Structure 1
Amino acid sequence: MNSLSGSLSTPLSDSLSATGETAEFAAVLERAVAALKTAGQLLLERYDVSARHGDLDGIVRAIHANDEAVLPLVEQPLLEARPGSRWVEDELAGGVLPGGEWWVVDTAEGNINHIHGMGEWAVTAALVRDNTPVLAVVHVPLTGDTYTALRGRGAFLNGEPLRVSAKTDLKAALVGTGQAKPGETEEALRRMGASVTAMLIDALVVRVSVPATMQLIHVAAGRMDAFWQFSDVRSGLLPGALLVSEAGGTVTDTDGEPWSLASGDFLASAPGVHTQAVDVLSARA
C-alpha cells in the first residue's frame, strides 16, 4: 500500500468511483451505519457516569461484558451487508490480512472510558479489501455523531464533508498520541514517552489519551493537527486512517514512509505539518 495523502494514493483505476462500485458500497455503508447506531444505543443504555471499578478483575469483566453484549448487533448485519466478507476475530492483532474483504470492528472503542463513566468512546467499523481500507464508520453515541468515509469519495460527519486543518506550522499545532493497549513493552512505552517530550518542545499542545479513533476523528475534522502511535492495533487505526486521508490528510508511518497493516508505527496529520511531525518523531523519539 502506498502512503495515504488526500485520498488513498493508489491509481485512480483502483478507486471505488472508477470501478463502478460507488453505489454498491454506498448501500453497504448505509447498512453499516444502521448496525453501528443500534449497537451504540445499547452501549448508551449500559453507560453509567457514576461507574467506578475498584480492581483489575472488575475492569476486565466490565469490558468483556460490553463486547459480548454488542457483538451480536454488529457481526451478522455487517457480514450480511457484504456477502463473502469475513470477520477479524482479534481486532487488536496487527499485521497483514489474507486477501479478500474483512470487517475490522471495535464494539466499544474506548471501552475503558465507557466503563469508568467517561465520555470518549464509540463503535467503529472498517471494511478492508486486500489490506486496503475502503469503508469506515465511527458512531459516537453520546453526541449522536456519525463519521463515514468511502475510498475515493470523501469523508463526512453526519453527511457534511470533513476537511483536515490548513495549519503549516507545528508550533501552532494541537497534536496527540496515546497508549495503544495494556501490556506494551517497556521499550515501547519509553519510546512513547520520548515522543511526547519531543512534541512538547516542538508543538503547541500535546494530548495523550485513549482511544486512538477519538483523536483521529478530530484530525479528520481539522480540530487536531496530528496523531501518532507506536503500535499496529488495527481496530483503532483503520477507520481513522481512511477518514483522515479522505478528508485531505496525510497518513504514513512515523518515518514518513508508506503506511500499511504491516507497519509498526502510524502518523496521521494535516499535510502542512506532516514533514515537521516526521522530523520530530524520527529524529528525537
Structure 2
Amino acid sequence: MSATPQTTNAVASQASLSDAELLDRTASAVRDAGTALRERFGEVVRYATRDELMRALAANDDTALDILRPRLTELRPDAGWVEDELDGGELPSGEWWVVDPAEGNVNHLHALPDWAVTATLVRDNLPVLTAVHLPLTGETYTALTGGGAFLDGRPLHVSPTEDLGLGIVATSQARPDEDEEVVRRVGSSITAMLFNALVVRTSVPATLHLVNVAAGRIDAFWQFAGARADLLPGALLVTEAGGRLSDAEGRPWTPRSASFVAAAPGVHAQAVATLSR
C-alpha cells in the first residue's frame, strides 16, 4: 500500500525538525513513558527464580516501550533502535536511538525510588541529545550537543570542587554477573576512593549518579565495564554541564572503553590518579 499524501507530509515534517525540536519531543515521550511506569510502582514485586525476575523486568520495559518506540520512530524513522540496556561497544554509523525504558528497573521492582526513563539520539557514535525523566520527582534532565544541560529548563553546572578529599564520589555496578576481574577491580577502586575522597556512594543505576554530577551535587562518578544506555545520557549531560570524561587511565572515553570517569574539572585528574594506581 502506498503512503497517503498526509503520511508523506508528516514524515517529511518530522525529518525537518531541528535537534532542539527533536529534544523537546523526546522529552515529552520519556515523560509519558514515565507516567505509565509510575502507575505500576509502589509494591515490592516478589520473585523466586531468575525467570520470574526477567519476566517482571520485561513487563516494565514493555510498558514504557509501547509509548517510546512509536513516538521516537515517528521522529526519526530511519534511525536504528537499541533498547538492550546491557549492550556495549560502538554502533554502526548513522543515527540510533539508545533507550533505557526503565533505567534502574530492579529498583522499581523493589519499590525503591532510584529509577528513570532515558532516550538518547546517537549520530555516528556521538550522543546528540538526551532526555532523562525521573517519574517520582517529576524532574526531566535534558542536554543537546553544544546547547548545554538543563533540569526542567534551568542550566546545570558541575561542581567547583578542586580537592577530591572534600568531594562526594559515586560508582555503580554495570551489570549483574560480572566476571571476576571486573568485580575485583570494582572492589579495589572503592577502597582507593574511601582513602582519597570524603564520601563514597555505591548504588545503581549509573544515570542517577551522572545527573548528580551534571547538577554539581556530587563531584565524580566512575564505573568499570558498562553499557551504552547507562553511560551515554549522563556522558552528554556532564560534558554539556562543564564536566570532563575519560577512562580510568585518563584516556578519552568512547563506548568501547573498559572504564568510565565523569568528574568536575577540578577533581578529574585526582580521581583518575586514584583509580589508576
TM-score by length of 2: 0.92
Distance 1:192 1:179 in 2: 8
Query: In structure 1, what is the equivalent of residue 24 of structure 2?
Result: 30
Identity %: 56
Q: Which of 57, 60, 64 is the equivalent residue of 2:54? A: 60
- Unaligned runs of at least 5 residues, structure 1: 1-21
8 Å Cα contact 1:95-1:232 kept in structure 2: no
8 Å Cα contact 2:168-2:201 kept in structure 1: yes
8 Å Cα contact 2:215-2:241 kept in structure 1: yes
Say which structure, 1 or 2, has more relative contact order (CA 8 Å, 6+ apart). 1
Structure 2 counterpart of 1:228, one-letter code: W
Structure 2 counterpart of 1:200, one-letter code: L
Query: In structure 1, what is the equivalent of residue 44 of structure 2?
Result: 51
Range that drifts further, 58-67 or 249-258: 58-67
Distance 2:180 2:79 in 1: 37
- Unaligned runs of at least 5 residues, structure 2: 1-15
Distance 1:215 1:227 in 2: 7
Structural RMSD (CA): 1.5
Q: Does 1:172 align with 2:166?
A: yes
Q: Which of 224, 249, 252 is the equivalent residue of 1:255? A: 249
Distance 1:187 1:259 in 2: 20
Query: In structure 1, what is the equivalent of residue 153 of structure 2?
Result: 159
8 Å Cα contact 2:175-2:226 kept in structure 1: no
Structure 1 segment 125-274 matched on structure 2, within 5 A: 125-274=119-268
Distance 2:239 2:49 in 1: 37
Partner of 1:176, secondary structure, is strand
Distance 2:141 2:131 in 1: 6
Distance 1:71 1:23 in 2: 22
8 Å Cα contact 1:59-1:115 kept in structure 2: no
Q: Does 1:73 align with 2:41?
A: no
Distance 2:276 2:246 in 1: 12
Partner of 1:46, secondary structure, is coil
Structure 1 moving runs of 4+ over 3 Å: none
Q: Which of 99, 102, 122 is the equivalent residue of 2:93? A: 99
Distance 1:55 1:191 in 2: 30
Distance 1:235 1:107 in 2: 10
Partner of 1:99, secondary structure, is coil
8 Å Cα contact 2:83-2:100 kept in structure 1: no
Distance 2:73 2:248 in 1: 33
Distance 1:273 1:218 in 2: 15
Distance 1:90 1:59 in 2: 16
Structure 2 counterpart of 1:27, one-letter code: E
Between structure 1 and structure 2, the one with the greater Rg is 2
Shift of residue 70, structure 1, vs aligned partner: 1.4
Structure 1 counterpart of 2:196, one-letter code: D
